[in-house]
Structure 1
Amino acid sequence: MQGHRPRLSRKLGRGEISRIVKCIPGRRRRVIAAAAACALLFLSGCPAARTGPDPRKLESRRKTSFQYFGTVCFASVYDDFSSDSSRNRFEEAWQEITDMLARLEASASLDKAGSDLRRFNDARGGERVPVSATTADIIALARRLYEETGGAFNPAVANLVDLWGFSPRFRNKSDLRMPYDRPSDEEGGFGLPDPRYVEAFRRLSDFSLVRLGGSAEEGYFLTKEASDIAIDGVPYSLKIDLGGIAKGYGADKAAAILEAFGYEYGYVNLGLSSMRLLKRNVSDEGAPGRNMWAVHISDPEDSAKDFLSLYGKDTGLSTSGTYDLSYSREGREYSHIIDGNTGEPTRSDILSVTVLGPDAASDDALSTALCVMGSEKAEDFMNTRMKGFKAAMIVRRESGRLDLVTNMKKGEYALTR
């Protein structure tokens, strides 16, 4: 998932707000694989029946880190923190979470020197790179979702993301320069790239040519089966970016740690877009059931306002958007979400997608994939291939009207715009 913050939006000019389009799941359905779970916040409501302390009187505590994946990571829980042992327990849980995030970054970080991902990307075509069990697990899940979505979710677009100016080196103001770089303007946009690079990097975006091998006993490895392509004498090889799934994977693992420490109420948030919800100690206002959170999705046309609220508990959640990181050229908006089939930023009419499902890693991948597909294909995919997952898509029609397209039941969401 290329990350979209639930409360961050980019102004596009105000259009006419629409009706709600309710998508009814069809007969043909195929389950997309799941793994663990994720999401965000807000208060009020009614407590659930429970032995022990009154849930309404539980205290909230939160831990935050900016140390991993170049973004914010935090965990929040509600519990009885009246004793030293209860406070120490949360410290121990947070330590386990940060240790896990450090291992995850050493595996899946695009920037961290010596990470599995960095070593793989630096390898030439045909080379084999040893990787950790964590990397192998993420790659296996990514491969399954790549196949399930027909390539709409594609970690192998890393070269294209860099070509179009959306990789971390541009955000981090790196000194690294590539032959295909173009000057940036005052708004952070770029001129259009040389078509030779678009085509070469499109050919190098075949994730099926990343082969996972090995075993837990003998160790895992990745083989880069795509041949390098040279332009003006400079060789380029297939590269992958796991940012569209790794943060959700981390949220799943962090939530599992909280649950192992006995926490029932709380949530985990990685990068503001990949989340895992436990239960709410009291249901948020408007929630259709007990212990449910309200997650507020920002209005694509006004970042100060919300477009809708989604309700959930014990679930993963991920939001992707095509409008929050983009630039304009010659009357076209170029988004950070790349379509590997064309080698270009997606031309999707979808502005934002939020997916709730059994695990945040799959939610990450699916929210990005639906953005790439565009509303027509995404609606069909949502209704036929996403059993066990809920999706809410904000779509801009040709008239300028915004439609909410969703497979969620009435009461599981509320329009707030």
Structure 2
Amino acid sequence: MDQTLMTRVLVPTLLDDSTRPLLGAQVRSLDGQTMGTTWQVRWTVQASVASVERVHAAVQAELDLVVDQMSTWLPGSDLDRFNHAPADTDHTVPPAMGEVLQAACWLSHESGGAFNPAAGALVNLWGFGPGPRYTDPGFTAPSDDAVQRALARNDWRALRWDGANRRLHQPGGLLLDLSAIAKGYAVDRVSRRLSAMGLVHTLVEVGGELRGQGLRPDGQPWWIELESPPVAHGQRPLPTTRVALHGLSVATSGDYRRAFTHGGVRWPHTIDPRQGRPLANGLASVSVLHAECLWADAWSTALTVLGREEGMALAEAHGIAALFVQREPDGQLSETLTPAMQALDA
């Protein structure tokens, strides 16, 4: 699409003809907090299929399950217990955590370690974990020696993940961190739970990751705009990208969300687990569209770490719909769309 046009419209290539809008229905909404961020659910109702209280309880139950199993912040979570387990021990994880680990380990292999669920030591070292935080007074970037020590503890292959039996190995000091995939998984769980309750027209969002099902009462899909990096003075604005979330999920990773500056260097929160340092590949953001939010979330992180060239190649090999925003040497922002993303352009 010509970037002089200021609005791009993306629609799914396959539409669910069996889904009919609930004409004259109402759109209801709920919101709250989870995982250190916010959540929101919208759904259309024509009759009392489910009360607001019942919907709220169902949503909270799914979010709480993900937190209880996969939170790095909650003492006593299944993930926390694994991280503090003795060296050379094997552990069985609960089913939901097993689903996430299965996807995470697969993508770690496919991305050559650009996506890494065992990078918790690095995340913590750079101040983006439970603590100490990069926002704490006096926090400084870690030394090279500290980075090398953390790198020695982030080999995801040392987990020896056995998906059939949901077993993983703690070699000693390895720290799981599923933050780059758990929010997307939570979105999927909430969406599926609502569908099981008879709510087929829903929009679910957790921390900016979204999944839309069905249609609004007016027959329109759930329209959203892709998150875009802030445009600085002198930068040309990028096209606005509107997406019809009809059986689609979206997630965006960017270098503008959380960062700190030390010694004149800006360190964004996304870490390259292969190098042990926050990214410096010039990518401002990557947005991914996928049927499942788990995969949109995970792929957006993996592609961001890989950078535009390597990321484009891997995304094309797997048919991933992605939009890359690059910071060019002249200070401008440029966009690159994978063929699968271009195919959605109406």
1:81-230 superposed matches below 5 A? 81=47, 85-86=48-49, 88=51, 90-170=52-132, 184=137, 190-213=139-162, 220-225=166-171, 228=172
1:63 maps to 30
| One-letter amino acid matched to 1:246 | A
1:301 maps to 231
CA deviation vs aligned residue, 1:304-359 (integer Å, no higher than 9, x gap): x9852231321111111112211223343211111111111111211011100021
Is 1:321–1:353's contact at 8 Å kept on the other side of the alignment? yes
How many residue pairs get aligned? The number is 327
CA deviation vs aligned residue, 1:163-203 (integer Å, no higher than 9, x gap): 11111335698xxxxxxxxx745xxxx42312221001112
- CA pair 204-307 structure 1, distance change in 2 beyond 3 A: farther
Instruction: Measure the CA separation in 1 of the matches of 2:224 and 2:68.
Output: 33
Please, what TM-score do these two structures have when normalized by structure 2? 0.85
Instruction: Measure the CA separation in 1 of the matches of 2:328 and 2:256.
Output: 15
| One-letter amino acid matched to 1:254 | V
Q: CA deviation at 1:213?
A: 4.0
CA deviation vs aligned residue, 1:21-71 (integer Å, no higher than 9, x gap): xxxxxxxxxxxxxxxxxxxxxxxxxxx9986852xx3211112221x3222
Three-state SS of the structure 1 residue aligned to 2:256 is coil
- CA pair 53-281 structure 1, distance change in 2 beyond 3 A: closer
Q: State the structure with more CA Rg.
A: 1
2:326 maps to 395
Three-state SS of the structure 2 residue aligned to 1:298 is coil
1:276 maps to 211
- Counterpart selection for 1:334 from 255, 267, 277: 267
Q: Does 1:384 align with 2:326?
A: no
Is 1:320–1:352's contact at 8 Å kept on the other side of the alignment? yes
Q: RMSD value over aligned CA atoms? A: 2.8
Greater RCO, 1 or 2 (C-alpha within 8 Å, sep 6+): 1
More displaced stretch, 120-129 vs 192-201: 120-129
Is 1:356–1:390's contact at 8 Å kept on the other side of the alignment? yes
1:38-49 superposed matches below 5 A? none
Q: CA deviation at 1:391?
A: 0.8
CA deviation vs aligned residue, 1:106-137 (integer Å, no higher than 9, x gap): 11011212111000111233122342121112
1:4 maps to none
1:264 maps to 200
Instruction: Measure the CA separation in 1 of the matches of 2:20 and 2:267.
Output: 53
Three-state SS of the structure 1 residue aligned to 2:215 is coil
| One-letter amino acid matched to 2:335 | L
Is 1:136–1:212's contact at 8 Å kept on the other side of the alignment? no
Instruction: Measure the CA separation in 1 of the matches of 2:103 and 2:221.
Output: 30
- CA pair 332-87 structure 1, distance change in 2 beyond 3 A: same
Instruction: Measure the CA separation in 2 of the matches of 1:360 and 1:52.
Output: 23
- CA pair 302-170 structure 1, distance change in 2 beyond 3 A: farther
Instruction: Measure the CA separation in 1 of the matches of 2:50 and 2:177.
Output: 37
2:277 maps to 344
1:255 maps to 191
Instruction: Measure the CA separation in 2 of the matches of 1:193 and 1:270.
Output: 31
| One-letter amino acid matched to 1:402 | L
| One-letter amino acid matched to 1:222 | L
Is 1:120–1:222's contact at 8 Å kept on the other side of the alignment? no
- CA pair 325-59 structure 1, distance change in 2 beyond 3 A: same
Instruction: Measure the CA separation in 2 of the matches of 1:203 and 1:379.
Output: 29
| One-letter amino acid matched to 2:99 | D
Q: Percent identity?
A: 27
Please, what TM-score do these two structures have when normalized by structure 1? 0.71
Instruction: Measure the CA separation in 1 of the matches of 2:81 and 2:132.
Output: 20
Three-state SS of the structure 2 residue aligned to 1:412 is coil
CA deviation vs aligned residue, 1:86-108 (integer Å, no higher than 9, x gap): 452x4323322221222221110
Is 1:119–1:129's contact at 8 Å kept on the other side of the alignment? no
CA deviation vs aligned residue, 1:364-384 (integer Å, no higher than 9, x gap): 111011111111211222222
- Counterpart selection for 1:405 from 313, 336, 341: 336
- Counterpart selection for 1:315 from 248, 264, 276: 248
Gaps of 5+ in 1: 1-17, 21-47, 174-182, 229-236, 285-289
Q: Does 1:78 align with 2:44?
A: yes
- CA pair 184-375 structure 1, distance change in 2 beyond 3 A: farther
Is 1:283–1:292's contact at 8 Å kept on the other side of the alignment? no
Instruction: Measure the CA separation in 1 of the matches of 2:150 and 2:243.
Output: 40
Instruction: Measure the CA separation in 2 of the matches of 1:384 and 1:392.
Output: 15
